[in-house]
Amino acid sequence: MNKPPTPVASNFIRNIIDGDLAANKNDGRVVTRFPPEPNGYLHIGHVKSICLNFGIAKQYGGKCNLRFDDTNPVKENEEFVKAIKADVEWLGFEWDELKHASDYFDELYNYAVELIKQGKAYVDSSTAEEVRSMRGSLTEPGTPSPYSNRSIEENLDLFARMKAGEFEDGEHILRAKIDMASGNINMRDPTLYRIRKVHHVRTGTDWSIYPMYDYTHCISDAMENITHSLCTLEFEDHRPLYDWVLDTLQTPAHPQQIEFARLELEYMILSKRWLKKLVEDGRVSGWDDPRMPTITGIRRRGYTPAALREFCERIGVTKNDAWIEMAVLETIIRDDLNEHSPRRMAVLDPIKVIITDLADDYNETLSFANHPQKEEFGRRDVAFTKEVMIDRDDFSENPPPKYQRLIPGGEVRLRGSYVIKCEEVIKNDAGEVIELRCTHDAATLGKKPEGRKVKGVIHWVSASAGVSAEVRVYDRLFTVPNPGAAESLEATLNPDSIAVHKQCYLEASLADAKPEERFQFERLGYFVADRYEHSKQNPVFNRTVTLRDTWAK
RNA sequence: UGGGCCGUCGCCAAGCGGUUAAGGCACCGGGUUUUGAUCCCGGCAUUCGGAGGUUCGAAUCCUCCCGGCCCAGCCA
């Protein structure tokens, strides 16, 4: 029954590291880092990077740091720092060192002075507009800035005064002097420092200039003795600059940047801009809405850290722009939950069934296995009474072909209980079915009925012994595989991405569930007690995923 | 049209000059089952974007072509 663990697949990054180890590069050390900017919530795309970086370190007996890339104080704050740490920990990883790019502001400044002294950096006093127009285009080379030949002394003086706060935002920038005619636009005298007279969460008002990503990242990696700096494909063009900085300066190390493809998932959107819009427009309840692809949202939906890690292992790491089907994610969470979740019965859209040949006060205690294949999950008692609730779509007056649930005059097994027969259908004035009158076959408890076959089995909850609860049924947020490519995001929103059932009947024991405790509601799917809103008094469950359904509807 | 990168089954993905081209997901059968679940068994690329070439031998090397992605923030 237990599946063998998926073997660790080889990938191009592991191949590179194996080669480095074989050549005894870096003295056999493997050091990676996960470097988020604390400007938003982490999502499943980041999970791929987290699993890759921490996973590589673990597999090779190396280290992995968590480093906040906090070089742009106007976009960053402490709330995100806390949330990111919590997400990484929840995923089951421990960082070796907690770092911030801002830890290196002094070194970064000194290295910049060194570049100026080498004649490799200069202060440009052009406007942003002028800098842009002189950069050229994708097909035309740029033109040198009129400030690129300032003397070293003048550059040193200006840069020191930039640091001292003598100038306002935008008056000057520090640029590397590389090649304005390069085919790679990142090499056309990239900006190293800009003036930002704003408060920084960690350095306060110490600085009025802040280093840019390209200049900061490579040096931060070097300062931490990172061996393999893993990032996404869009940074491929930045690698020459990464290497230029480290080749030009005397840094403690020269890490190797390796790029891999970011995660793309069908029916999801991972762009921060769009996720923000969903939250701001009230399309979801917040960043932790169970439909959101954020780690906090996925967690609230009921996914497990182990499933997310397994997902990353299975999708692999390549340089291909890959679109992963939802089925991959869903299969993995089902496998995990099937293995680890106790079973319960719950009725989401109830119809009352009265078993007419039972006494009004009938109350039988039935013993149910908590897991059909795992004895160690133990058993529980379930009350069977004269009135029970069943789900509305387990009864049909006009059944489709091969329907094997309850129909007028037909029989069906109440799971773990008796076979009942529908004798009478009661409707209200609107013609809606409100009650079914049934009889039961007393000889069918734990036995097959005699002389006939009853194929259908449906779940149920005692009307008097069950507890009422709210159950939120979630589905994908979008109706198209690639909503990001649509003309209008709104038009692709799935109007049925959430269905709240407020009058559900659950087995009584479910009220005692702890927040984030997971169950399989038999025949319905896997559900989790809501992390924030569930309580014994007001049970609230979220559907994580349905059961696999091979019955063509 | 400048620079960088990518094309192996419907979706992922191993493969690194000699293998009958792994594996997972999906799909299609069949069996077990008091969850239309789980589980089990079987099927599913004579072919690696295309065309040439090198070689005894090519998905793996070379050339050209085709298709796709990324880059012109004082964002990361």
Detail the DSSP E strand segments found in A177-293. Answer: 191-195, 209-211, 228-232, 256-260, 264-265
pLDDT reported for residue A1? 33
Nucleotide closest in space to A136 (CA vs C1'): B72
Nucleotide closest in space to A139 (CA vs C1'): B2
pLDDT at A488 over 90: no
Separation in Å: B15 C1' and A1 CA: 30
Q: What nucleotides of chain B have any atom within 7 angstroms of a protein Cβ? A: 1-8, 10-16, 22-26, 28, 34-40, 68-76
Q: Which residue is nearest to nucleotide B69 (CA to C1')?
A: A321
Nucleotide closest in space to A11 (CA vs C1'): B14
Strand order in the sheet with A121-124: A121-124, A173-176, A191-195, A209-211
Indicate the range of A2-11, A214-223, A378-387 predicted with least confidence.
A2-11
**CB neighbours (10 Å) of residue A256?**
18
A58 is catalytic: no
**pLDDT tens sequence across A211-237:** 999 999 999 999 999 999 999 999 999
A272 is catalytic: yes
Q: Which token pair is A478?
A: 């979008």
Q: Of the listed A14, A25, A29, A37, which one is catalytic?
A: A37
Sign of the dihedral through C-alpha A20, A26, A30, A36: negative
Rounded CA-CA distance A270/A40 in Å is 12
pLDDT reported for residue A9? 77
pLDDT at A6 over 70: no
Q: Which residue is nearest to nucleotide B40 (CA to C1')?
A: A1
**Which residues does residue A548 pair with via DSSP β-bridges, in sequence order?**
none
pLDDT at A406 over 60: yes
**pLDDT tens sequence across A388-401:** 999 999 999 999 99
Region A345-353: mean pLDDT is: 98
Helix axes A305-315, A326-340, angle to 10 degrees: 140
How big is chain A by its Cα radius of gyration, in Å?
A: 31
Helix axes A105-117, A152-163, angle to 10 degrees: 160
Q: Which residue is nearest to nucleotide B75 (CA to C1')?
A: A72
Cβ atoms of A209 and A194 closer than 8 Å: yes
Rounded CA-CA distance A54/A35 in Å is 12
CATH numeric code, A12-260: 3.40.50.620
In degrees and rounded to multiples of 5, residue A227 shows phi and psi of -95, -40
Region A105-116: mean pLDDT is: 98
Q: Which residue is nearest to nucleotide B25 (CA to C1')?
A: A328
Nucleotide closest in space to A37 (CA vs C1'): B76
Give residue A8's pLDDT band: very low, low, confident or very high (50, 70, 90): low
Rounded CA-CA distance A258/A33 in Å is 12
Detail the DSSP E strand segments found in A3-113. Answer: 31-34, 63-68, 98-100
Tell me which amino acid residue A481 is.
Answer: P
Nucleotide closest in space to A130 (CA vs C1'): B74
Region A103-120: mean pLDDT is: 98
DSSP A455-516: --EE--EETTTSEEEEEEEE--SBSSS-GGGSS-HHHHB-TTSEEEEEEEEE-GGGGGPPTT
* A145 exposure class (CB count in 10 Å sphere: 0-12, 13-18, 19+): buried
Rounded CA-CA distance A50/A95 in Å is 10
Domain A346-459 in the same topology as domain A264-344+469-553? yes
Domain A346-459 fold: Ribosomal Protein L25; Chain P (2.40.240)
Rounded CA-CA distance A406/A438 in Å is 10
Mean pLDDT across chain A, nearest whole number?
A: 96
**pLDDT tens sequence across A248-281:** 999 999 999 999 999 999 999 999 999 999 999 9
Separation in Å: B24 C1' and A315 CA: 9
CATH numeric code, A264-344+469-553: 2.40.240.10
Separation in Å: B69 C1' and A261 CA: 10
Q: Which token pair is A503?
A: 């009058």
Separation in Å: B61 C1' and A513 CA: 62
Rounded CA-CA distance A146/A402 in Å is 80
Q: Which residue is nearest to nucleotide B22 (CA to C1')?
A: A9
Q: Of the listed A14, A29, A85, A272, which one is catalytic?
A: A272
In degrees and rounded to multiples of 5, residue A441 shows phi and psi of -100, 105
pLDDT at A33 over 60: yes
* A126 exposure class (CB count in 10 Å sphere: 0-12, 13-18, 19+): middle
Sign of the dihedral through C-alpha A204, A210, A213, A216: negative
pLDDT reported for residue A251? 97
pLDDT at A2 over 70: no
Separation in Å: B11 C1' and A18 CA: 29
Nucleotide closest in space to A217 (CA vs C1'): B76
Cβ atoms of A346 and A505 closer than 8 Å: yes
pLDDT at A5 over 50: no
**CB neighbours (10 Å) of residue A451?**
5
Q: Of the listed A262, A314, A476, A531, which one is catalytic?
A: A262
Domain ranges of chain A: 12-260, 264-344+469-553, 346-459
A507 is catalytic: no
Separation in Å: B7 C1' and A323 CA: 14
Alpha helices in A354-466 (DSSP H): none
